[in-house]
Structure 1
Amino acid sequence: MGIKHVAPVGVLLAATALLGVPAQAQVTDVPATGPLDLRADAGSTYAGAGSQAGPRTHREREPVGGARLGGRGLIVPAGVKAPPKTAARAYVIADAETGDVLAAKDAHGRYLPASTLKALTALTLIPKLDKERKIKPSRRAVNEEGSAVGLVPKPLYTVEDLFKALMLVSGNDSAMALAEANGGLATTLADMNAEAKRLQAFDTVAKTPSGLDKPGQSSSAYDLALIARAGLANADFRRYISTKTDKFPAPKGYYEIGNHNKLLWRYKGMIGVKNGWTSKALGSFVGAAKRDGHTVIVSIMRHDGYFWEEVADLLDWGFANRGKVVPVGRLVDPVPEAAPLPTASVAPATPTAQAPVSAPDPAAAGGPAGEGVPIGVYAALGAVLLGGLTWLAYGLRRRSRRVR
């Protein structure tokens, strides 16, 4: 007897199950994105989403700029004499026009950048600050430790003055004053790290605008070359780094400041960029020179001595070999900015005579109900459910009569 009632109960259960399942549910497989450290001993960062090769899985990732740049040893094109020796722990020699990396050593090794980080500070803030704006430095900026231009807490300086002090005499006080002019230290550090990501300088983490040592702060010879190359494309940046001497405002007139980059006076075609030193970071430098219409970039990190002649020798090697060798990697281009979304134009409304609009019939509309299921489906399932309940009740009643 019970067998006759299996079908209605099955209909009831099926209807209940169908009504209880959300519509349009789906599971997507999201590809791995973001930087991935595959070389624990070097602490380098590898290309993630946004690299020109496109998204990769973790196992397929390679160092930014090419697989060979992931090594820690010297990388030189085949059949070419190695660059002159240097005491620097890491370096990169690159062609600024093509982006070709001509030779490198521990290109992605992360080290303390010291004042070479000021190149990122300048590149980040130059587009954001009005050069003619007057600045009154805070007491904190005036008392910033380390190298300084000698600011006083008076409105004597323009943004232009502070950028010159930043890049010529490596003023830590100027770095803080510029950060405050940009909305504060936290805002400026966020902007600097966003700019590093835009450049694909993933080894770089800014914790100070000056480059003063701080836990977690880092960069690499590769990233310094990327930053310098991007800076060379900015006319104001080029003007600041190539200025040898200038007048700087003082409470009583002015005094003269000179660029700390010694190669501006010693090396033919030197454009400049930035040098740095702290007791923990040791010596670092990133610079560019132009000869015969071509520009070569050299960056070095963690040099424990006097490096100017060694940098000059590396530049000479770059000019002698650019355009003649198979590059060992390349300086990648910045991530392109997203195109602005199109703005829909709305036609002006014109009053027109319209017939009265009656309220729509939900049952006839067949529109979405809840999560994309047409209301007609719910109506049909409701009818099935009601019929199943009625049939079940009828069968149970007949069965109870016969049992008596």
Structure 2
Amino acid sequence: MWTKLVPVTALIAAASLTSGTAYAAPTTPVGGEALGSRGLVAPAGVKKPPKSKATSYVIADADTGQVLAAKDAHGRYLPASTLKALTALTLIPKLDKDRKIRPSRNACNQEGSAVGLSVKATYKIDDLFKGLLMSSGNDAAMALAETNGGLDKTMSDMNAEAKRLQAFDTVARTPSGLDKPGQSSSAYDLALIARAGLANPDFKRYISTKTTKFPAPRGHYEISNHNKLLWRYNGMVGVKNGWTSKARASFVGAATRGGHTIVVSIMRHEGFFWDEVASLLDWGFSVRGKAAPVGQLVDPLPVAAPAPAASASPGTSVTPAPQPPLLDSAAGRQTDDTRMIGSLVIGGGLLFGLIWLAYGIHRRRTRSRL
């Protein structure tokens, strides 16, 4: 079973980001009205795109942002590991790539595809991004999320970044793309994310690396990029593929020829898709600049500057907030144990005082008799 959501024709009113910025979501399909269609949208006057078994796809010119053809561009589907492109795009600017960390046991024990992290080894953040984008490591995804301040913070950051990119079909619930209720993306959004990632030199370096040495508790071992088109397709840059039993196959990739870059994203494919993607890329290169676009990959929204911290102006007197009385304050911090101990101390002191008073009275009476 899988859930197909309607195209984006009415989205949430706004998305509040961690920076405090609210990005208003449109009430019409992002990138143009034609992209709201569930069927094939292709330009007139040129040959139609090759047939694909993908339920949804987008072919776009990454340089101009023009969408050359699409099928159910805004259909919302489970993204599987293609979501790792958003994880990387979100976290690369936040984490020092030279920082070294030792992953938690939780990170090392993530289900599904893994790069093979060990609690006995130390890794650079740079290594973890390679494990994330080359080997599709769910363990690397969790280790990066934990380094970023935890899973909840990372999910908030990823969803904020999606809204900034105007990828309004995308809802991230896991950093790895493992299926979780409420998680979704679209072929249009994957193309947006890929285009933004290509502008980041580190992101582009990770996705285009074919093989590399990866740290182990003792020495290193070699990992290979899961994107088979890096070896098969002339000019392939890379990006990300994914698969789960519920999502089926998904892919987003880019290739550059003659100084021009084409992006192809597909979702909900039932079988071997590499040759189909190659044909869609070929078609994109053949028609770019020759046909009217059917839509547009929109540009990211600007990042709002953080609000300046409040500070006292020169010559301004700052009055401290009133403090509660000492006894009230202390009582407010008491636990049941400290209250019991306090009662014993107070009660014991009172009893001792009464005994001492009785003794004093007895002594005075005795003296008066002498």
TM over 0.5: yes
Q: How many residues align?
A: 306
2:209 equivalent in structure 1:
243
Whichever residue aligns with residue 140 of structure 2, its letter is: S
Q: How does 1:219-368 map to 2 (within 5 A)?
A: 219-338=185-304
Q: How does 1:2-401 map to 2 (within 5 A)?
A: 42-44=6-8, 46=10, 61-338=27-304
Q: Is the 8 A contact 1:122 1:163 kept in 2?
A: yes
Whichever residue aligns with residue 44 of structure 1, its letter is: V
C-alpha separation between the residues in 1 aligned to 2:313 and 2:110?
57
Q: Is the 8 A contact 2:77 2:186 kept in 1?
A: yes
Q: Is the 8 A contact 2:66 2:293 kept in 1?
A: yes
Whichever residue aligns with residue 151 of structure 1, its letter is: L
C-alpha separation between the residues in 1 aligned to 2:179 and 2:165?
22
C-alpha separation between the residues in 1 aligned to 2:151 and 2:228?
30
Structure 1 position 46, deviation (Å)? 4.6
Structure 1 position 44, deviation (Å)? 3.0
Structure 2 runs not aligned, ≥5 long: 16-22, 316-370
Are the structure 2 counterparts of residues 46 and 335 from structure 1 closer, same or farther at C-alpha, using a change threshold of 3 Å? farther
Q: Deviations over 1:38-79 (max 9, x none)?
A: xx962536567789xx979x8xx3100000000000000112
SS across alignment from 1:141: helix
Are the structure 2 counterparts of residues 70 and 156 from structure 1 closer, same or farther at C-alpha, using a change threshold of 3 Å? same
Structure having the higher Rg:
1
C-alpha separation between the residues in 2 aligned to 1:81 and 1:46?
32
TM-score normalised by the chain length of structure 2: 0.78
TM-score normalised by the chain length of structure 1: 0.72
Q: Deviations over 1:89-118 (max 9, x none)?
A: 000000001100000000000000000000
Q: Is the 8 A contact 1:189 1:208 kept in 2?
A: yes
Q: Is the 8 A contact 1:203 1:218 kept in 2?
A: yes
C-alpha separation between the residues in 2 aligned to 1:233 and 1:305?
31
Whichever residue aligns with residue 63 of structure 1, its letter is: P
C-alpha separation between the residues in 2 aligned to 1:340 and 1:143?
37
Moved over 6 A (4+): 47-51, 340-349
**Greater Cα offset, 143-152 or 337-346:** 337-346
C-alpha separation between the residues in 1 aligned to 2:180 and 2:102?
26
C-alpha separation between the residues in 2 aligned to 1:166 and 1:344?
39
Structure 1 position 171, deviation (Å)? 0.3
Are the structure 2 counterparts of residues 343 and 44 from structure 1 closer, same or farther at C-alpha, using a change threshold of 3 Å? closer
Whichever residue aligns with residue 303 of structure 1, its letter is: H
RMSD: 2.4
